[in-house]
Amino acid sequence: MSADIPKFDPVIHAPARLQIAALLCAVWDAEFATVRDTVGVSDSVLSKHLKQMEDAGYVRLSKASLDGRVRTRLSMTKVGRRAFAAHIKALQALVSIAEHAPGPASLDAQSDLAAAEPETVL
């Protein structure tokens, strides 16, 4: 049974990174300032999260000039998009188990999912 259960992604698991991934997966690319303001974090916190996502190969950072200023553009890589989709599936599976099939079998499955939960890196 555990083999069918999607796994949580340790990189996307943190709430702020989940929001960053949700935003970047919806668009082609986004500016650093837009992501910062939308997620509601400071420059340094966003940079820290982006570093982890970049190290995992989920996010690509590029510099581009706009209105005479160099701005950082962020985009989700294919690997990142797949990881985000898998993480969402895992979340949905957990919610679905709790919503639709309450009983001993679902409790087992919920335990399997909980066991698959990674250590959250903040």
Partner 1 sequence: MDSAEALRALEQTEAMRREVAQRTECPPRWHIAFGLLLATIAAGQATPLPYNVCIEVFCIIAVAVFARAQRRRIGFFVNGWRQGRTLPVTFALLAYFMLIYWAGLWLKFNTHIWWAPLAAAILIFPGAVYGSYARQRAFRAEMSEGPRTMAP
Is 46 a binding residue for partner 1 by CB under 8 A? The answer is no
**How far is Cα 113 from Cα 106, in angstroms, rounded to an integer?**
10
Site membership for partner 1, residue 51 (CB under 8 A)? no
Dist CA 65 CA 73 (whole Å): 10
Between residue 76 and residue 115, which ones bind partner 1 under the rule CB under 8 A? 81-82, 84-85, 88, 91-92, 94-95, 97-99, 110, 113-114
Binding to partner 1 (CB under 8 A): which residues in 11-40? 15, 18-19, 22-23, 25-31, 33-34, 37-38
- Contact pick of 1, 3, 66, 70 for partner 1 (by CB under 8 A): 66
Helix H or strand E encompassing 62: strand 59-66
Q: What whole-number distance in Å separates Cα of residue 56 and Cα of residue 74? A: 14
